[in-house]
Amino acid sequence: MNISEIPYWLLQIMLIPALSPFFIGVTCRIKAIMQNRRGAPVLQPYRDLRKLFQKDEVISEDASWLFRAAPYLIFAVTLVIGASIPLVTTALPNSYTGDFLVVVYLVALGTFFLALAGIDSGSAFGGFGSSREMMVAALTEGGLVLSLLTLALISKTTNLAAISENIGSLPLTSFTPIILAFISFSIALLAETCRYPFDNPATHLELTMIHEAMILEYSGKRLALMEWASANKYLIFIALGANLFFPRGIAGSLEFVPVMLALALFAGKVLLFCLAIAIIESSIAKLRIFRLPDLLFTSFVISVIAIGLVN
Amino acid sequence: MNYEQIIKRYIPHYAETAVHGNIIAFEVPSSEIVAVCESLYLHHQAPLKIITAFDERQENGLFRIMYAFGLPKENLILAPYIRVGEDFPSLTPSFHEASIYERKIRTFFGLIPRCHPNPRPLILHENWPENIFPLRKDFDWRTRPEQAGGEFLFRKLGGEGIYEIPVGPVHAGIIEPGHFRFSVAGEEILLLEPRLGYSHKGSEKLFEVLPLADKLRLAERISGDSSFSYALTFCQALESLSGTVVSDRDKYLRVVFAELERLANHLGDIGAIMTDSGFNFGGAQCGRLREAVMQIKERLTGSRFLRGVAKIGGVTPVLTEDAARETSESLEALKMDFEQVMAIAENSNSLMNRLRNAGILSYAIARDHGVLGVAGKAVGLAADARVDYPYAAYHELGMEVATEKAGDVHARFSVRIREAYASIELIRQALGVVPQLAGEVGAPGLKFRRDSFAIGIVEGWRGDIVCLVATDSSGEISRVDLRDPSFLNWTALGYAGQENMVPDFPLINKSFNLSYSGNDL
């Protein structure tokens, strides 16, 4: 590794965990404004994390090592993914974990341990949270993999940085399958990040929860890690959506000016995603749980069509 | 019909009747009570209002159990009663609605309902000793009994893949305490049993010891969101006992305050139903509208919850002409605002899809359990105390009972919306009349009828609230029993939850929005 790459690698690794709470805060703030509320400051999630890191924990007597280890593992997984996907530049060589299948199944690994941790404490809420999460995750996988596969087929590579570079250089006329794949990916994004219409991140009703039900037994530092990991996952999926489907503006080299411009543009794109998600969460009701599969199948079918359109 | 015709038609020939205000009471031998009540409830379709017991062992060594049935068109209450020693015949095999009252009498008076199919204790938990009955006169309210170690058995379902979800009494949100036991197969609710009593405060016993002014304050605090309705119910019973006349102006003002309370709570509930289905826009807007009504209440009375507003013989605040006009104008603006919000909500397919066909309560279950208020109206039971037993100035104002047929969450949602509009209309009608009316009639030198009783009925926003007050031979209040509509509606909630998905239950529960405090007393 060239010594001049180090600052850019640091940026790449730090960007997701450093900014993810901010964008959670931004989404909440936009939602609040759209609902005629003032809302908490956008930096509130950082304060919540600091508060939780200072708190003691209560761990159920019935919980095993798995319950204790899961937050570290899940958080670490999001760090690895965050370091592997194209964020502001496509020029960082990353041939091991930068493959889209690796990323998708690293996400699945996190989900797997999250679900195990939910069951592990023995609480009924964790149990049904995990069971619902597994139902949603299993059905999301198809749309997620196939929508990214569409991009891989178009650019004839499975490396995410290469996909990003390639899609950015395509003429506008070849965008039909990409737009279809993006629609399919967006549905998967909402499901994977526990957003409307799948899950309500703001709910306090135990019986309706999916993600929150699994982490209900966590407190203190481990809860902070869980919350932080889910914020990371949120930003990771938005970054994938922004940089794979609309990669224009991402830096193709490791020079200061293009990277900084790309960073600003990246922040702008993420804000647009946050705005769209906030609009969805303010304007529709959550779906009934057994209507979720319909939506996920739609995602699957659209991405199949997208693949069919790739020439 | 005059009294004689009513007595001839409804009351067995052997019974001697006594008229107490609007109550016709008559003693029946305990062997006859089932037949008498069956005739009133099943044959004449007189709605059961309350069953309650009195400990009169100091006077005659017996308990009295009184059954109050309403005659809606006549605005009269028929009250057969029996005197019993240790047990009494249960009405539950004849009609189910009596079950919950009899369980309460069993728990608090220790009288055994014979042939009751499910005599489990109610409200008091297994840590309360089985042989201590707190509403007996010889129980001192200050005693703190030993912790007992009983066990409460929930109904169990067996079968492969069936598991139980215990929820509460402490919840993630800020709501009252209640435990719900779900038996679930996958996501489908097979059985739901609510368990209450966590906010039992001994209110009925407290009514026997507090001075009169504090009794009124206690009535206001039975269920905090219905402060005015409860205080009004209690005042009406005391006015009937003392023959106090309420001025015309205060009668209209009572309508204004009662409807403001209903409006605020309905707006809050309509918003909460939308929030719980995830429709945040509607939830936030209705929260704002509710707050506007709370502020109107504060401007008019100094209390957001109308505490200290009702008094025996009238209401405390005086409404100036300006305030009346201003309120009327704010409500007109609020109505237009509300119409716009509801137009958006009713156009939301995703919201309507969540509300329709969720938590269906069948007409038969509702009727058999005596379901009241919003939940009853949503299946087509058109009982409303404002029409059936008109009080305050309701008989002079035009109103219709809003009913729906479907019995699902959407029907309860719609009943609330229609009642909210009706409330605005009633308030504006009443405010138009108030300033021209004379206030203040005779100052109250309160004297209650001796050895008598009275019943106040008020349509609170959840349904009708019944308050029975009895006096002893020196004219002192010896017993107060309050029946919140939730007391009956809780018994039917489990049926509305059955066959629904677990994640829909919070929405179903919210569409009922029953009182825990009013049930637990």
User: What's the whole-number mean pLDDT along residues B77-94?
Assistant: 90
Peptide bond into B444 cis (omega under 30): no
Distance CA B231, CA B233 (A): 5
Whether chain A has a CB inside 8 Å of the CB on B478: the answer is: no
| Domains of chain B, start order | 3-114 (3.30.460.80), 162-195 (no CATH), 203-520 (1.10.645.10)
Q: pLDDT value at position A1? A: 63
Q: What is the CA radius of gyration of chain B?
A: 23
Q: Which residues from B are below 8 Å from A207, CB to CB?
A: 165, 167, 502-503, 505-506
For residues B250 and B439, give the distance between their C-alpha atoms in angstroms, rounded to a whole number.
7
Q: What are phi and psi of A133, to 5 degrees?
A: -60, -40
Round to whole Å and give the CA distance between B98 and B221: 26
Distance from CA of B350 to the nearest CA of A (A): 5
Q: In b/e form, how buried is each residue of A18-33, taking b as 16+ CB within 10 angstroms?
A: ebbbbbbbbbbbbbbe
Residue B407 in contact with residue B366, Cβ under 8 Å? yes
Distances (CA, A) of B462 to A269, B65, B226, B263, B305: 49, 27, 9, 11, 16
| Residue B292 CA neighbour count, 13 Å, CB half | 20
Does the pLDDT value for residue B133 go beyond 70?
Answer: yes
Name the band, by pLDDT with cuts 50, 70 and 90, for residue B482. very high
Which member of A128, A196, A202 has the closest CB to residue B502? A128
Q: What is d(CA A147, CA A186) in angstroms, rounded to the nearest whole number?
A: 9
Nearest chain A residue (CA) to B186? A128
pLDDT category of residue B512 using cuts at 50, 70 and 90:
very high
The Cα of B302 is separated from the nearest Cα of chain A by a number of Å equal to 26
Query: What is the average pLDDT across B61-73?
Result: 90
Check if B333 contacts A (Cβ < 8 Å): no
DSSP code of A252? Answer: S
The residue type at A52 = L
A201 at interface of B, judged by CB pairs closer than 8 A: no
pLDDT tens, residue by residue, A108-164: 999 999 999 999 988 888 888 999 999 999 999 999 999 999 999 999 999 999 999
| The pLDDT of residue A77 is above 90 | yes
Contact A206 B166 (CB under 8 A): no
Distance, in Å, from the CA atom of B273 to the CA atom of B271, rounded to the nearest integer, reads 5
CA atoms within 13 Å, Cβ hemisphere of B234: 31
Band (pLDDT 50/70/90 cuts) for residue B441 is: low
Q: Does A200 touch chain B (CB under 8 A)?
A: yes
Domain ranges of chain A: 3-309
Q: How confident is the model at residue A201 (pLDDT cuts 50, 70, 90)?
A: confident
- For the residues A9-17, what does the mean pLDDT come to? 93
The percent of residues in chain A predicted with pLDDT above 70, rounded, is 100
Using the predicted structure, report yes or no on whether residue B258 has a pLDDT greater than 90: yes
Q: Give the distance, in angstroms, between the CA of residue B331 and the centroid of all CA atoms in the same chain.
A: 27
| Contacts for B426 with CB less than 8 Å, ≥ 6 apart | B255, B259, B397, B399
Residue A207 contacts B, CB cutoff 8 Å:
yes
- Tell whether B276 lies on the interface with A, counting CB pairs under 8 A: yes
Q: Are B198 and B490 in contact (CB under 8 A)?
A: no
Tokens coding A302 = 């659209």
Taking alpha carbons only, the member of B271, B211, B225 closest to residue B517 is B225
- Count CB-CB contacts under 10 A for residue B17: 16
Contacts of A201 in chain B (CB under 8 A): none
B342 with B271: CB under 8 angstroms? no
The encoded tokens of residue B267 equal 């707006």
Whether B443 shows a pLDDT value over 60: the answer reads no
What the block records as the tokens of A203 is 């709910």
Q: What is the pLDDT of residue B422?
A: 93
Q: Look up the ipTM and state it.
A: 0.87
* A to B CB pairs, distance under 8 Å: 89
CB nearest A283 (choices: B184, B281, B506): B281
Q: Hey, is the C-beta of B350 within 8 angstroms of any chain A C-beta?
A: yes
- Tokens 């179903």 appear where? B508
Q: How far is B393 from chain A (nearest CA, A)?
A: 38
Q: Which two tokens stand for residue A147?
A: 């929508």
- pLDDT tens, residue by residue, B135-161: 988 888 888 888 888 788 888 888 888
CA–CA distances in Å: residue A232 to residues A91, B423, B504 = 22, 49, 29
Question: B169 — contact with chain A (CB < 8 Å)?
Answer: no
pLDDT at position A244: 92
The rounded radius of gyration (Å) of the Cα atoms in chain A is: 19
Checking if the pLDDT of A303 tops 70, the result is yes
Chain B: residue nearest A131 by CA?
A: B186
Q: What is the rounded CA–CA span in Å between residue B497 and residue B191?
A: 8
CA distance to partner chain B, nearest, from residue A32 (Å) = 9
Chain A residues inside the 8 Å CB shell of B502: 128, 207
How far B169 CA lies from chain A's nearest CA (Å)? 12
Q: Is B348 on the interface with A (CB under 8 A)?
A: yes
Residue B48 has a pLDDT of 92
Is B474 a residue whose pLDDT tops 90?
no
**Choice between B74 and B437, residue whose per-residue pLDDT is larger:** B74
**Per-residue model confidence (pLDDT) at position A268:** 95
Q: Where residue B15 falls among pLDDT bands split at 50, 70, 90?
A: confident
Tell me what pLDDT residue A209 has: 87
State pLDDT tens for residues A241-285.
999 999 988 988 888 899 999 999 999 999 999 999 999 988 888
Residue B164 bridge partners (DSSP): B183
Q: Which residues pair with B84 in a beta bridge?
A: B63
Using a 10 angstrom Cβ sphere, with 0-12 exposed, 13-18 middle and 19 or more buried, the burial of residue B300 is buried
How would residue A185 be classed by pLDDT, with cut points 50, 70 and 90? very high
Contact with chain B for residue A3, Cβ under 8 A: no
Using CA coordinates, name the residue in chain B closest to A209: B503
List, in sequence order, every residue forming a beta bridge with B68; answer none if it has no partner: B50
The answer to whether B123 touches B104, Cβ cutoff 8 Å, is: yes
Query: Looking at chain B, which residue has its C-alpha nearest residue A36?
Result: B284
Distance in angstroms (rounded) separating the CA atoms of residues B249 and B258: 14
Question: What are the pLDDT digits (tens) for B385-411?
Answer: 999 898 888 888 888 889 999 999 999
Mean per-residue pLDDT over chain B, rounded? 89
DSSP letters of B178-216?
-EEEEEEETTEEEEEEEE--TT---HHHHHHHS-HHHHH
Q: How far is A210 from chain B (nearest CA, A)?
A: 10
pTM of the complete model: 0.91
CB atoms B164 and A124 under 8 Å? yes
How far away is chain A from the Cα of B129, in angstroms, using its nearest Cα? 31
| pLDDT over threshold 60, residue B442 | no
